[in-house]
Amino acid sequence: MENEDRDYIVELEDQETGERVSFVLADRFELNGSSYVVLITDEDEDEAEMVIMEETEEEGGEVLLKTLDEDKEDVIYDYYDDLCDEMFEDIDDDEDEEN
């Protein structure tokens, strides 16, 4: 069971500072043919931060995470917010039907 939990931890290194930060892989989604991952800092819940990165696969099969292009960033975060809103609406609707 411990090894399964490790599969959901992503460690990234800031290329400018060399600082390493651990994230929990919280979600994946696709938009316009591109794949994205949602990462949450693996820290205190009150100070946790969410980051979305593009997931790309190299020719050798290696998976890389890429920072979002600034011109696409707002669109991608807005799309993910809409996905979350839809998911919570579906959950609320299911709970209403059960009552």
State how far the Cα of 54 lies from the Cα of 64, in Å rounded to an integer: 8
Query: 40 and 26 in contact (C-beta within 8 Å)?
Result: yes
What total number of domains does the chain contain?
1
One-letter amino acid of 60: G
pLDDT, tens digit, 9 for 90 and up, residues 64-82? 899 999 999 999 999 999 9
Where are the alpha helices (H) located in the chain, listed in sequence order? 2-6, 70-98
CB atoms under 10 Å from CB of 38, counted, come to 19
State percent of the chain over pLDDT 70: 79
State how far the Cα of 2 lies from the Cα of 49, in Å rounded to an integer: 24
Domain containing 79 equals: 2-98
Which residues are 56's β-sheet partners? 64
Q: What is the pTM of this model?
A: 0.75
